[in-house]
Amino acid sequence: MYDINSMKAEEFIDHDEIIETLDFADKNKNNRELIEQILDKAAPKKTGRGVECAGLSHREASVLLACDDPEIVDRIYALAKEIKEAFYGNRIVMFAPLYLSNYCVNQCVYCPYHLKNKEIPRKKLTQDEIRDEVIALQDMGHKRLAIECGEDPVNNPIEYVLDSIRTIYSVKHKNGAIRRVNVNIAATSVENFRKLKEAEIGTYILFQETYHKESYEKLHPAGPKHDYAYHTEAMDRAMEGGIDDVGLGVLFGLEMYRYEFAGILMHAEHLEAVHGVGPHTISVPRVKHASDIDPGVFDNGIDDDTFAKIIACIRIAVPYTGMIISTRESESCREKVLGLGISQISGGSRTSVGGYAGYSPTERPHDTEQFDVSDQRTLDEVVCWLMKTGYIPSFCTACYRAGRTGDRFMSLCKIGQILNCCHPNALMTLQEYLCDYAQPETKKLGEALIAKEINNVPNEKTRKIAMDYLKQIREGGKRDFRF
Ligand code: SAM
């Protein structure tokens, strides 16, 4: 029985509720009156204090996703764009993955790190190697990392992950610093989540892969990840352990996308209902080719148009949740979805263990890669492209360092302080990047962009302070200002 407040996976992600939702969506996909009501409910509303959005339930959002009337689809895209601009503006936060170890005891059939894959060498970085990787990432300009690790209690125990986080935060190389470490490791215990919180992680990210229990069990035939309930209930344990920024995701291609879409929104609704805070981010990976993995064997691959529509509908349904797209996607695909709701992207990524240190920007080790990278540009190329495309690349990590985690980003939106806070923070961190790492063309474009965009900070006092900080970064060698 569906129960949003239940702590049991099969009750808050109730299969029958999803099937009924899909049926309801099919029956109503041409119900103009209902669709108008849904679009109206989701539209941003100006209040005395700022702009607010109501979001949508999984049922309402599923109706939008099912609708294929071209005029309505255009309106879905326009609304997603409007919401994106209201809360995220033209800022795009940058990050990179750091693979620590590909030892894994699971048998996920889509992942090259599965236990039975003898084609790949197994590698686990030492703390010295992690230091080298972090220096290489800092030299690119990164400030925010997502650490990735296979599940292996012997080779990758929680102590190893905690040591690695400490190492990453401790590296201070030239003007570089990693200021936020997000963690993408297997589902774990409340006690371990508490330890991760104490280690000052940013977001705990765990992809559900699929919400369809029966498929989940087939796709994870053995190993600890086989346990659907333990995996699905991980975010509740993370929150019990004090982590209030959690990142959801499904691996599109494994199951029917409409099922996953309803499932991920039900998961978000459950977290909000039980913990008072929804997910900080939603990621939208698609299955890619990798060693021993042929994405063609999965029947549920989605094309770029469907992918864009999913992103737009997620944006509308959960307006305060950030959305992440990785280098699994090509430049053209990323460009298409940036305007529809994506707020964070990775750049210059290596998906292999030890893929950064010792390699030139164009050299790419493939032996331990988790999946093929489609967008193979350097971070500087991505930064330059974002600016040419009309976006502000942001290396901001301020929110979590200022304690604005959990539902406090939503409060920032609701009181209309985004432009006085996120905007100058984005510009100041971009200024640091331009001073320390940018190529000449990027630097020239960036300086002009900052000079123009600083005028969009509405509060005069804040604008003046931000301009002074920018000058101190440029001329005084100062770093790490934030609002
Ligand atoms: N071991 C942890 C876990 O099980 O959640 C960490 C996750 S893994 C390093 C990161 C994510 O990569 C997985 O959750 C999965 O969704 C994704 N992934 C695995 N194989 C992939 C493939 N062939 N193509 C695209 N993404 C893949």
pLDDT beyond 90 at 48 = no
Alpha carbon of residue 406 to chain centroid? 15
At residue 114, what are phi and psi to the nearest 5 degrees? Answer: -60, 150
DSSP letters spanning 256-284: -HHHHHHHHHHHHHHHHHHHS---SEEE-
Secondary structure E strands in 210-339: 246-249, 281-283, 322-325
In the predicted model, what is the mean pLDDT of residues 262-283? 97
pLDDT beyond 90 at 6 = yes
> Which residue CA neighbors atom 11 of ligand 1 most closely?
207
At residue 283, what are phi and psi to the nearest 5 degrees? Answer: -105, 150
Q: How far is the CA of 72 from the centre of ligand 1 (A)?
A: 34
In the predicted model, what is the mean pLDDT of residues 240-244? 96
Q: How far is the CA of 144 from the centre of ligand 1 (A)?
A: 19
Q: How far is the CA of 111 from the centre of ligand 1 (A)?
A: 6
Q: How far is the CA of 288 from the centre of ligand 1 (A)?
A: 10
Question: What percent of the chain clears pLDDT 90, i.e. is strictly above it?
Answer: 91
Q: pLDDT category, 133, cuts 50, 70, 90?
A: very high
Q: Are the beta carbons of 392 and 412 closer than 8 angstroms? A: no
pLDDT of amino acid 104: 98
Place of tokens 């996953």: 260
> Which residue CA neighbors atom 5 of ligand 1 most closely?
186
Other residues' Cβ atoms within 10 Å of the Cβ of residue 51? 17
Q: State the chain's mean pLDDT as an integer.
A: 96
Binning the chain into helix, strand and coil, the percentages to the nearest 5 are 50, 10, 40
* Pocket-forming residues, ligand 1, beta carbon under 6 Å: 110-111, 148, 150-151, 184-186, 206-207, 209, 225, 251, 285, 287-288, 290, 293, 328, 370-371
Q: How far is the CA of 166 from the centre of ligand 1 (A)?
A: 24
Ligand 1: residue of 184, 328, 369 to mutate (most ligand atoms within 8 A of CB) is: 184
Place of tokens 């849904």: 38
pLDDT of amino acid 231: 98
Element (H, E) at 57: none
Instruction: Give the whole-angstrom CA distance, residue 329 versus residue 339.
Output: 15
Q: What is the per-residue pLDDT across 302-323, written as a single tens digit (0 to 9) for each?
A: 999 999 999 999 999 999 999 9
Q: How far is the CA of 443 from the centre of ligand 1 (A)?
A: 35
pLDDT of amino acid 144: 98
> Which residue CA neighbors atom 25 of ligand 1 most closely?
287
Alpha-carbon separation of residue 219 from 153, 230, 303 (angstroms):
21, 15, 22
pLDDT of amino acid 247: 98
Question: Of the candidates 226, 169, 173, which has an alpha carbon nearest to the alpha carbon of residue 196?
Answer: 169
Q: How far is the CA of 94 from the centre of ligand 1 (A)?
A: 20
Q: What is the per-residue pLDDT across 55-112, written as a single tens digit (0 to 9) for each?
A: 999 999 999 999 999 999 999 999 999 999 998 999 999 999 999 999 999 999 999 9
pLDDT beyond 90 at 428 = yes
Q: How far is the CA of 272 from the centre of ligand 1 (A)?
A: 25
Paired sense of beta strands 50-52 and 45-47, if any:
antiparallel
Instruction: Give the whole-angstrom CA distance, residue 109 versus residue 220.
Output: 7
Question: Of the candidates 131, 124, 129, which has an alpha carbon nearest to the alpha carbon of residue 168?
Answer: 131
Q: Are the beta carbons of 427 and 453 closer than 8 angstroms? A: yes
Q: Which of 366-370, 371-375, 388-392, 413-417 has the lowest mean pLDDT?
A: 413-417
In the predicted model, what is the mean pLDDT of residues 140-150? 98
In the predicted model, what is the mean pLDDT of residues 184-212? 98
pLDDT beyond 80 at 409 = no
pLDDT of amino acid 408: 74
pLDDT beyond 80 at 416 = no
- Give the nearest ligand 1 atom to 206 CA: 5
> Which residue CA neighbors atom 4 of ligand 1 most closely?
186
Helices 304-317, 58-66: axis angle to 10 degrees equals 150
Q: How far is the CA of 102 from the centre of ligand 1 (A)?
A: 11
Alpha carbon of residue 307 to chain centroid? 16
pLDDT beyond 80 at 137 = yes
Tokens, residue 54: 């109501």
Question: What percent of the chain clears pLDDT 70, i.e. is strictly above it?
Answer: 100
Ligand 1: residue of 98, 205, 251 to mutate (most ligand atoms within 8 A of CB) is: 251
Q: How far is the CA of 105 from the centre of ligand 1 (A)?
A: 13
In the predicted model, what is the mean pLDDT of residues 23-47? 97
pLDDT beyond 80 at 26 = yes
Q: What is the per-residue pLDDT across 351-360, written as a single tens digit (0 to 9) for each?
A: 999 999 999 8
> Which residue CA neighbors atom 21 of ligand 1 most closely?
111
Q: pLDDT category, 436, cuts 50, 70, 90?
A: very high
Q: pLDDT category, 418, cuts 50, 70, 90?
A: confident
pLDDT beyond 80 at 449 = yes
> Which residue CA neighbors atom 18 of ligand 1 most closely?
111
In one letter, which amino acid is 26? D
Tokens, residue 253: 């291609």
